[in-house]
Amino acid sequence: MAHELQFHAITLEQRMGNTMNRSDFIRVFMLLAISALHSPVILAGQPATAWQDRAAIRTTAESYLQAITREQHNARTEIHLGQLDPRLRLKACHSPLESYTPSGSRPTGNTTVGVRCPDEAGWNIYISARIDVFAPVLVARQPLVRGARVQASDLEYRERNLANLNYGYYTDTGAVDGMVIKRMVSAADVITPQMVEAPKLVRRGEQVIVVAESGNLSIRSSGKALNDGKSGDVVRIEAAGSRRIVDGIVVSQGVVKVTL
């Protein structure tokens, strides 16, 4: 510091030349010295910025994901959070951190979780995550051929990772019982909605029972189905005798309901 002050003093003396007498020069020299001595003290006295603990951010995100996963699935879960950038610098939050599910995030598999500081000058970040949920789902106990009617005895439960079942799955045998296999299914295959379909209760050309209703009045007659239909489908019926064409809704095997 002494060398630096000497350098500045000599420079000033050289620049000022004869325009500054010795007493003025000494006064300037002392002012520079005092300024140099006080500058570090002022900087050291300034409060250092407090940074948010990254571990607290991860804990908030992980606790949130565990809570919402338990609400959605009563099953074994594994949650893996992505790493935060070690260079991340966020001001310490004075309020409790909040976590949330960003729009478009998946409930399982590769997803994203948000963490924010609700302070007035807060911040918001996103963290990548992986959620694996292991739960029992319905699989084929034995090979099932196309066109076969599914029975409860054809199915059994096996634990699978729901995050990998992108095409869906079933957990209730009642939802699959009586459905028709659309393509060959191997043993232990997870049953998906794409593998089964509702059976056709009415087939084209078959004779069906037509139930016509109007208020409390109900009339039963017969007719011929002009197209195939599953439960709830609208089919066209040619009434016996009159050959009149009417539309009806399939309600059960070989039965169509018509509203007058």
- CA-to-CA dists, residue 13 to 16, 20, 29, angstroms: 5, 8, 10
Angle at 155 between CA 153 and CA 157, to 5 degrees: 130
Task: Supply the CATH number for residue 208's domain.
Answer: 2.30.30.760
DSSP 154-166: GEEEEEEEGGG-T
Are residues 68 and 125 located together in one domain of the fold?
A: yes
Task: Please say whether the beta carbons of 135 and 158 come within 8 A.
Answer: no
Are residues 74 and 7 located together in one domain of the fold?
A: no
Are residues 67 and 117 located together in one domain of the fold?
A: yes
Are residues 187 and 219 located together in one domain of the fold?
A: no
Residue 104: the pLDDT is: 94
Residue 44: the pLDDT is: 45
Mean pLDDT of the chain, nearest integer: 86
Residue 243: the pLDDT is: 82
Are residues 128 and 59 located together in one domain of the fold?
A: yes
Are residues 117 and 58 located together in one domain of the fold?
A: yes
The parent domain of residue 95 ranges over 54-133
Are residues 62 and 107 located together in one domain of the fold?
A: yes
Angle at 18 between CA 13 and CA 22, to 5 degrees: 60
Domains of the chain: total:
4
pTM over 0.75: no
Q: Which of the residue ranges 7-11, 230-234, 235-239 would you say has the lowest mean pLDDT?
A: 7-11
Residue 27: the pLDDT is: 63
Highest mean pLDDT among 24-28, 35-39, 47-51, 249-253: 249-253
Q: How many Å apart are CA 223 and CA 220, to the nearest integer?
A: 10
What residues are paired with 144 via a beta bridge? 185
Are residues 140 and 184 located together in one domain of the fold?
A: yes
Residue 7: the pLDDT is: 37
- pLDDT tens digits along 65-107: 999 999 999 899 999 999 999 999 999 999 999 999 999 999 9
Please report which confidence band the pLDDT of residue 47 belongs to, taking 50, 70 and 90 as the band edges. low
Q: How many Å apart are CA 81 and CA 65, to the nearest integer?
A: 10
- pLDDT tens digits along 135-190: 999 999 999 999 999 999 999 999 999 999 999 999 999 999 999 999 999 999 99
Q: How many Å apart are CA 59 and CA 61, to the nearest integer?
A: 5
Are residues 127 and 139 located together in one domain of the fold?
A: no
Are residues 189 and 223 located together in one domain of the fold?
A: no
Residue whose C-alpha is closest to residue 172's, from 188, 150, 194, 201: 150
A 10 A CB-CB count for 152 gives: 13
Ramachandran region, residue 162 (left: φ > 0; alpha: ψ -120 to 50; beta: rest)? alpha
- CA-to-CA dists, residue 206 to 27, 192, 227, 228, 256, angstroms: 118, 31, 9, 9, 12
Residue 210: the pLDDT is: 94
Task: Supply the CATH number for residue 167's domain.
Answer: 3.90.1210.10
Are residues 178 and 212 located together in one domain of the fold?
A: no
Residue 40: the pLDDT is: 43
- Pair type for strands 207-214 and 255-259: parallel
Residue 128 has pLDDT above 90, yes or no: yes
Are residues 139 and 129 located together in one domain of the fold?
A: no
Residue 10: the pLDDT is: 41
Residue 21: the pLDDT is: 60
